[in-house]
Amino acid sequence: MYFSETSTLRSIEKLMQTIPNFRPRGHGVMILCKHEYTAKDCDCSYCPYHTGRGRKIACRLDRCACLKEHIEAGAATQKEILTETMAAIKYPPFVRRLNLYLNESEEYPMEFKNEKHRELFGEAVRRKDKKDYALMAALYLLTADFRLWNTVKHCTEKAVIDFEHIRLKGIHPTGYTLFCCAKDLYLGTKHMSVSDLADTELIPPKVFGLICNAMAIRRFGLGAVNFNNERNLCND
114 is a domain residue: yes
Number of domain units in the chain: 1
SS3 59: strand
Residue 92 vs residues 83, 97, 102, 211: alpha-carbon distances, Å = 14, 9, 15, 18
- pLDDT of 7 reads 67
72 is a domain residue: no
- pLDDT of 230 reads 39
232 has pLDDT over 50 = no
pTM for this model (two decimals): 0.75
53 is a domain residue: no
User: Per-residue pLDDT tens for 10-41?
Assistant: 777 776 777 666 665 555 565 555 656 665 66
Angle at which helices 78-85 and 92-104 cross, to 10°: 170
Of residues 187, 96, 186, the one with CA closest to residue 140? 186
The domain in which residue 206 lies consists of: 78-236
* 73 secondary structure, DSSP code: T
236 contacts 146 by C-beta, under 8 angstroms: no
How many CA atoms lie within 13 Å of 69's alpha carbon, on the beta-carbon side?
A: 15
Residues 6+ apart with CB under 8 A from 139: 121, 124, 125, 128, 156, 161, 182
12 is a domain residue: no
Mean pLDDT of the chain: 82
R_g (Cα) of the chain, nearest Å: 24
- pLDDT of 30 reads 58
Q: Where are the alpha helices (DSSP H) in the chain?
A: 7-17, 67-72, 78-85, 92-104, 115-124, 133-142, 146-152, 173-187, 194-198, 205-220
Of residues 184, 168, 175, 230, the one with CA closest to residue 207? 175
181 has pLDDT over 90 = yes
Of residues 80, 41, 46, the one with CA closest to residue 63? 80
234 has pLDDT over 70 = no
Residue 107 vs residues 78, 134, 224, 227: alpha-carbon distances, Å = 10, 28, 17, 11
45 is a domain residue: no
Three-state SS for 33-54 is CCCCCCCCCCCHHHCCCEECCH
205 is a domain residue: yes
Rounded Cα distance between 95 and 201, Å, is 16
209 contacts 182 by C-beta, under 8 angstroms: no
37 is a domain residue: no
118 is a domain residue: yes
How many CA atoms lie within 13 Å of 141's alpha carbon, on the beta-carbon side?
A: 31
SS3 104: helix
User: Per-residue pLDDT tens for 186-230?
Assistant: 999 999 999 999 999 999 999 999 999 999 999 999 988 886 653
User: Per-residue pLDDT tens for 125-135?
Assistant: 998 999 999 99
**Pairing label, strands 50-51, 58-59:** antiparallel
